Structures are given as C-alpha cells and as structure tokens.
Structure 1
C-alpha cells in the first residue's frame, strides 16, 4: 500500500501583490530551509506567500532588511509567490516573483521597502 497523504492549501494571502504583472513569469529557485526558523519564518508549517528572500550561494535564504547590509542576504532576490508547505529538512523549489508591483505594508513580517539601490539591484519592483 502506498503512503498517501491528503493536503489542503491554497495560494495564500496575496494581498501583498500590487498588480498581476510578473506573476506569470515567476522563476523557480531552490529554498534552503535550514536558514529559515520554524517559529519565525513558518510558524504555521508553511513559508507564507510574499516572504522576501535573498539568493546566497545559489539558494534562497531569508532576506536581511537591515539597511546597512548590502551583500549576501541583504540583497533582495524577490518574494515567494505562493504558500509553500515545509515537510522535513530537505531544500525544495519555490516560485519567486522578481519583478512587478508590491504593497510593502502587506508583505509578511516586518518588511520595509529597501532604500539603498544596492539592496534591490537584482530585482525590478515598484513598491506601492
């Protein structure tokens, strides 16, 4: 008998999207789940839609919004487009929005739109 699992989840709260521009062109990237903390980044068992991420060493890690951090995790790579369930400890692929309009006030957590050009050099976002 195969191991069957029944799951129900949706696209998540996408109120952080400022428009539909870019969602059809989200790219697939690998998320390094070991760099995310269960109680902080996915307390409900999933990485929420709109989570800001940076790309370090070829994988996605939590974005460091500290304005003085303009290397590594301090460079915004984009936002996780849809809720992503976390199962186990293996890294997994996620859709990442890297251009479009974003409502900064609706991004999960305590996100502030980056002011330094170096922090947003890898993306093209209009923050509304």
Structure 2
C-alpha cells in the first residue's frame, strides 16, 4: 500500500481581511520557501494567512518593510490569502491577494502600511 497520510487544518485566521473585495480574484503564485525562516515566518509549520510578500525573480519572498527599500523585496506584492502547510523544502503555490481592504493590526506579523508609493506600486490596498 502506498504511503498515504491524512491531515486536517483550517483556512486560517482571516480576520485581517477588511472586506470580501478581492478574494475571488486572488491569483496563484509560487512561494520560494528557502527565503522564509521557520521561526519567524512559519513557526507553526504553515505559512499563515495574511503574511505580506514581495515578488522577486517570478517567485514570492518575504516582504522587506524597510521604508527605504523600494526595489525587489521592498515592493509589496500582496498577502497570502489562506494558510499553506510547509512540507519539506520544495517551493509551492499559494493564493495571493493583491487588492482589497486590510486590517493591519490583525496581520500575523507586525506590519505598518507602506507610505512610499514605490513600495505599494504593485497593489491596490486600503489599509484600515
């Protein structure tokens, strides 16, 4: 018999969503897991819903919130829409929300809405 396994986990805490706008239009992107740190970005074994990310070289990487960083990882691509289990070191697909309303105080990590236009040029968010 093949090595089957069963696992169950929820869709994540989506209280960070300020509205349902944009959910149906989330797009699929590849997350480069080698650029994320288990203790910081996925301490519970999964990439959490609401994690801010940037897109560099065609893949998602951790967003660099440093205000002066307005290239590469310093440009917000959006937020991971649902939890995604990390299983090994292979990159994997996630749903990316790139427009809508975001409650910054409810995000899984500390986040301040970027003030530099270049940092939010790839998205359309209302931060509340």
Name the TM-score class by shorter chain. Answer: over 0.9
* Cross-structure match for 1:10: 10
Alignment of 1:1-128 (within 5 A): 1-128=1-128
Q: CA deviation at 1:6?
A: 1.0
Q: Tell me how far apart the structure 2 counterparts of residues 114 and 107 of structure 1 sit (CA, whole Å).
A: 14
Q: CA deviation at 1:29?
A: 0.2
* Superposition TM-score, scaled by structure 2 size: 0.99
SS at match of 1:54: strand
Structure 1 gaps of 5+ residues are: none
* Superposition TM-score, scaled by structure 1 size: 0.99
SS at match of 2:30: strand
Structure 2 gaps of 5+ residues are: none
Q: CA deviation at 1:24?
A: 0.6
Which consecutive aligned stretches of 4+ in structure 1 deviate over 6 angstroms post-superposition?
none
Q: Tell me how far apart the structure 2 counterparts of residues 109 and 33 of structure 1 sit (CA, whole Å).
A: 17
Q: Tell me how far apart the structure 1 counterparts of residues 120 and 28 of structure 2 sit (CA, whole Å).
A: 19
Q: Tell me how far apart the structure 2 counterparts of residues 69 and 18 of structure 1 sit (CA, whole Å).
A: 26
Q: Tell me how far apart the structure 2 counterparts of residues 111 and 126 of structure 1 sit (CA, whole Å).
A: 14
Equivalenced residue count is 128
